[in-house]
A = this chain, B = another copy of it.
Amino acid sequence: MSSTTDAEPSPEARAPRPRGRARRGLPEGSGLSSSSGRRAPSVTGRVFSILEAFDGDHRALTLTEIARAAALPVSTAHRLVGELAAWGALERGPDGAYRIGLRLWEVGSLAPRSVGLRERAMPILEDLYEAVRQNVQLAVRDGHEIVYVERLAHPEAVRVFSRVGGRWPLHPTAVGQVLLAYAPPVVQESVLAERLAAYTSRTITDPAVLRRVLAAVRRDGVAVCDGMIDLAALSVAAPVRGEDDTVVAALSVVVPSPSEGGGIEPRTLVPAVRAAARGISRALGAPTALRSDAVPRAEGRRAES
């Protein structure tokens, strides 16, 4: 043990990510502070809790709102927010509200798992987008969730709930199922042991079923989710592999669900999605994607095009 460099999936070992506490609003009336004493009283921790006050539904907050969301005294929030704004991590609009600043976005743009991946995937994503004229999504896994790294949405395509930078659980999304199917066993078991939330009547909530689905995904190299988050949408996803041939991301196309009268036969999308995913893998330098003969494994040609 203790060997820092080699085997041992250290990044996997990271705790399943706390995920914001009850997130905003503190609806549970009880005493706010103290409680479990789970305060992280380091300056850095306070700064993070300020940043966490912002999310997709709260892009502009006043000082008081920040203080409330971050559970900090106003005077403390005032000082820290001042420093953040001076550096450019936050920006203050003419209305007095704070927003995430350009500078923070800028350093965020250096994250290899998002922008680095995105840059190389973009041309292929666009080709796929042009071909299907629907929603095209690229996501990575972080802990027990997926994070959307890129999303191309056709104005007339079926509406989806994802957002660049947004998070979703693994089990009800096609990208999530792919990422989970190829995740380290520890992660899989840990997810299977959790409660699987239902979003629609079709969401998989039974661990045994999910386990079978994951096996099928590994066998076929493709995941298909019909109406598991939104009854009107169906998505098809395939794995993207990196330099060491591990699955680093997943690509998906979202189309209207045929059960809802959508026009597209999902099976016709499979080859296109698989090919695009493979193209991205190649751009990333994945060994199996470089060998021209390598077929994702089994099932390779039987899928009638």
Contacts and interface: CB of A to CB of B under 8 A. Distances in A.
A152 B10 CA distance: 35
A305 to B, nearest CB: 11
Interface string A114-130: 11100100110010001
Given A104-B104, A108-B109, A109-B164, A5 B95 contact: yes
A142 interface: yes
A130 B299 CA distance: 36
B165 A44 contact: no
Interface residues of A, number: 62
A132 interface: no
A59 interface: yes
A199 interface: no
Interface in A42-64: 42-45, 47-48, 51-52, 54-56, 59-60
Contacts of A123: 155
Nearest to A5: B96
A88 B100 CA distance: 17
Contacts of A107: 51-52, 54, 100, 104, 108
A110 to B, nearest CB: 4
A89 B111 CA distance: 9
B122 A111 contact: no
Contacts of A100: 107-108, 110-112
A91 interface: yes
Nearest to A11: B91
Nearest to A52: B107
A105 to B, nearest CB: 4
A78 interface: no
A84 interface: yes
A4 interface: yes
Among A44, A99, A164, A167, the one with the most B-chain Cβ atoms within 10 Å of its Cβ is A44
A94 interface: yes
B59 A102 contact: no
* A-B complex: 3 closest residue pairs judged by Cβ atoms: A108-B108, A109-B165, A105-B108
12 contacts: A5-B94, A5-B96, A43-B43, A99-B110, A100-B108, A100-B110, A102-B111, A102-B113, A102-B147, A105-B111, A105-B113, A106-B147
Given A10-B94, A105-B165, A106-B147, 20 more contacts: A5-B96, A10-B92, A11-B91, A11-B92, A11-B93, A42-B83, A43-B44, A44-B47, A44-B83, A48-B87, A51-B107, A91-B111, A102-B113, A102-B142, A103-B142, A105-B113, A106-B108, A109-B165, A115-B165, A123-B155
